[in-house]
Amino acid sequence: MAGIDNLLSPEELDALTAGLSDGSIEADTGLNSEVMAMRHDLTNEDSSLGVNIGAVDMINERFIRQFRLGLLEVLRTTPKVSMADVKIMKFGEYLKDLSAPLSVNTIRLNPLRGYSMAVIEPSIVFAALDNFFGGFGRGFDKLPPGRLFTPTETSIIKIMLDVLFGSLKEAWAPILAISCEHVSSEINPQFAQIADENDLVIVSRFTADLGRDVSGNVDLVYPYNALKPIRDLLRSRVQTGDGDDVSDQEWSAELQSAAVDAELEVSVELAQIETTLRQFEAMREGDIVYFNKGEHARLYVNSVPVFDADVGANGSQMAARIIKPLMPVK
């Protein structure tokens, strides 16, 4: 074999090893051993080059408060919103955990670099739609395969994005004034390429409960390179007052103020009758429908039975007098 004659013999290798050990042979590796190397971990919040994850957590806490308040104003319900730990991962790994169809929205947060992403699970969309029209937050867990969001569902998504944008703006305000812009929407996350597969992204996941046993996730995804240029701001301008008693009291006061101004629909039901489709189709103007009047009428608030009531007149106005409260029907 070529070059085999140039190999050292076992005796020569032993002599070389002994010479290096006792210092009789000077070893020169060509490396500067006096230079100190600094270990760097991109996921460490205390890294001098990394993004302070603790700052992102505080932004998320402010976001949750504003998001709850905003949803209360538009959906007339008080949602439960919690957040998971912020994660730094490769964008390709994040996409693998998602299952289409979803409401995937590419957004721009000026002056941050590049594009970010807001991902809303269909269960949240359907529950919000039911709440918006006076329901209890019922809905489907998933969007059926092959079906796109309807125009009405798309309108609800737009309403939720408006709330999300306003909440983000308030959450970021102590650190950086931002403006939010909706760029595009998809149902397949593979089409929302805000970064390359191997690029790092910062993922904030919020779990929202908008109805009875209906919950889902809302993800905010920032490219790592979008937050890295402002790492000094994130490190130095995070307000330590977030989460203290004063801020909690202010948020509670804002929530109560918004709740008392929420509009409610009140209706009174005198009785119910059962009929067949044939009888219903035969009904014409002027027909008389007979029913048995119960002891009391029933007063509903946003389609929820709340009180038994008596119906009568007060002057020239029809009126209902509350008799007793009811337990909400489950």
At 263-284, the pLDDT tens digits run 788 999 888 888 888 988 899 9
Q: Which pLDDT does position 110 carry in this prediction?
A: 94
Most confident by average pLDDT, 52-61, 156-165, 243-252: 156-165
Q: Which pLDDT does position 232 carry in this prediction?
A: 82
CA nearest to 312, candidates 322, 325, 304: 322
Mean pLDDT throughout 142-153?
Answer: 80
| Measured distance CA(140)–CA(312) in Å, rounded | 41
Q: By percentage, how much of the chain surpasses pLDDT 70?
A: 76
Whether the CB-CB separation of 86 and 53 falls below 8 Å is answered with yes
Q: What are the structural domain ranges in the chain? A: 53-260, 266-325
Q: Which CATH architecture has domain 53-260?
A: 3-Layer(aba) Sandwich (3.40)
Chain segment 216-265, per-residue pLDDT in tens = 899 999 999 999 888 888 877 554 444 445 555 665 666 666 666 677 88
Fold (topology level) of 266-325: Surface presentation of antigens (SPOA) (2.30.330)
User: Which sign does the torsion angle of CA 77, 82, 83, 84 carry?
Assistant: negative
SS3 310: strand
Decide if 53-260 and 266-325 have a common fold.
no
Question: 205-208: long-range contacts at Cβ-Cβ below 8 A with a sequence spacing of 24 or more?
Answer: 205/83, 205/84, 205/87, 206/60, 206/63, 206/64, 206/67, 206/81, 206/82, 206/83, 206/84, 207/81, 207/82, 207/83, 207/84, 208/71, 208/79, 208/80, 208/81, 208/124
Q: What is the dihedral of CA 103, 108, 109, 115, to 10 degrees?
A: 90
Beta-carbon contacts of 313 under 8 Å, excluding residues fewer than 6 positions away, are 319
